[in-house]
């Protein structure tokens, strides 16, 4: 080989190809969100003509699509970091994908599954349901925008903005919020309208409350674990075994395990916040041993 010849040009082509892998997972994320929206619209048509049994399948498949999207969303960022192919456009594309898949899609899915057929069109409850669904989308979008700002300039933040911490998220991540809605639909995919008018309205009101709570949690200052450092140390074999075990349980008992995993994550963040506040109060109320008696 001559000295002027460039050695191993295939490696540069391979390096460029690696950039497509995280984008492929992001594209799968968007595809799953679009599939959920289309499935919810088809289910809404079937509910309108009285074919509730057929609508169940579409609602269940739409909910499972959000679950697959959640997996793709977890993998694209990790793969980008492992292959060192993180790009600015990839970060922005990932956020836009989350708006579609975990913002619009769960809001449409919840509307069709819960209050779309439970409340009379134009009633006060129907208007409240529409407003809460919109606020869920707005709060999720704001949370993603805040995350992008904190990620792009973690050292130079505006006054009052929380400093970025790689170990935790500020506010409930929108994929978790959308995952909870999808897990509920997957757990009981039958439209609430099928439970009777009184029970359907009661369950729909509870769903509105849940959507409101998730909206507030997304824009709150509560911290939730990010798990970005999980699996990056030498003792990651335990994490891999645990992940495989959870994956098998999800495959066998998806209706129960998915709901339990999402609820456990949210409760962990809330209980951690309560524990930190409790310890802070104890530290403030404890006497200072260095204080001198006057």
In this prediction, residues 17-21 reach a mean pLDDT of 66
Poorest-confidence range of 125-134, 227-236, 271-280?
227-236
pLDDT reading at 37 higher than 90: yes
Model confidence, pTM: 0.81
For residues 75 and 182, the model is more confident at 182
How far is 127 from 159, CA to CA, in rounded Å? 37
pLDDT reading at 123 higher than 90: no
Q: Smallest Cα–Cα separation from 124: which of 43, 216, 201, 41?
A: 201
HEC assignment per residue over the chain? CCCCCCCCHHHHHHHHHHCHHHHHHHHHHHHHHHHHHHHHHHHHHHHHCCCHHHHHHHHHHHHHHHHHHHHHHHHHHHHHHHCCCCCHHHHHHHHHHHHHHHHHHHHHHHHHHHHCCCCCCCCHHHHHHHHHHHHHHHHHHHHHHHHHHHHHCCCCCCCCCCCCCCCEEECCCHHHHHHHHHHHHHHCCCCHHHHCHHHHHHHHHHHHHHHHHHHHHHHCCCEEECCCCCCCCCCCHHHHHHHHHHHHHHHHCHHHHHHHHHHHHHHHHHHHHHHHHHHHHHHHHCCCCCCCCC
Cβ atoms of 18 and 83 within 8 Å: the answer is: yes
How far is 171 from 154, CA to CA, in rounded Å? 16
Query: Ranked by mean pLDDT, which of 15-19, 215-219, 251-255 comes out on top?
Result: 215-219
71-110 pLDDT, tens digit each: 888 877 777 667 666 667 777 888 889 999 999 999 999 9
203-246 pLDDT, tens digit each: 999 999 999 999 999 999 888 887 665 554 545 566 667 767 77
Its sign, for the CA torsion 56, 59, 65, 67, is: negative
Residue matched to tokens 């998730």: 214
In this prediction, residues 113-130 reach a mean pLDDT of 88
Phi and psi based region of residue 293 (left: phi greater than 0; alpha: psi -120 to 50; beta: remaining): beta
What the block records as the tokens of 269 is: 């963040």
Cβ atoms of 104 and 181 within 8 Å: the answer is: no
């Amino acid at each position: 080989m001559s000295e002027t010849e460039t050695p191993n040009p295939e490696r540069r082509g391979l390096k460029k190809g690696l950039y497509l892998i995280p984008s492929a997972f992001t594209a799968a994320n968007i595809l799953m969100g679009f599939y959920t929206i289309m499935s919810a619209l088809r289910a809404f048509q079937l509910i309108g003509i009285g074919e509730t049994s057929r609508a169940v399948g579409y609602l269940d498949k739409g909910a499972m699509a959000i679950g697959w999207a959640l997996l793709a969303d977890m993998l694209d960022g990790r793969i980008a970091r492992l292959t060192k192919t993180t790009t600015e456009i990839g970060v922005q594309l990932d956020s836009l994908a989350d708006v579609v898949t975990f913002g619009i899609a769960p809001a449409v899915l919840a509307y069709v599954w819960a209050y779309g057929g439970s409340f009379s069109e134009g009633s006060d409850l129907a208007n409240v349901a529409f407003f809460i669904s919109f606020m869920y989308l707005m709060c999720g979008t704001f949370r993603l925008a805040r995350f992008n700002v904190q990620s792009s300039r973690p050292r130079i933040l505006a006054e009052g903005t929380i400093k970025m911490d790689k170990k935790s998220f500020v506010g409930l991540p929108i994929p978790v919020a959308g995952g909870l809605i999808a897990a509920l639909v997957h757990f009981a995919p039958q439209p609430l309208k099928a439970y009777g008018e009184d029970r359907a309205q009661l369950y729909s009101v509870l769903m509105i409350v849940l959507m409101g709570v998730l909206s507030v949690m997304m824009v709150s200052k509560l911290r939730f674990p990010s798990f970005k450092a999980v699996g990056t140390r030498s003792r990651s074999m335990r994490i891999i075994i645990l992940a495989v075990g959870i994956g098998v349980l999800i495959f066998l008992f998806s209706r129960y395990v998915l709901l339990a995993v999402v609820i456990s994550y949210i409760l962990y963040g809330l209980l951690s916040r309560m524990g930190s506040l409790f310890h802070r109060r104890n530290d403030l109320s404890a006497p200072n041993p260095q204080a001198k008696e006057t």
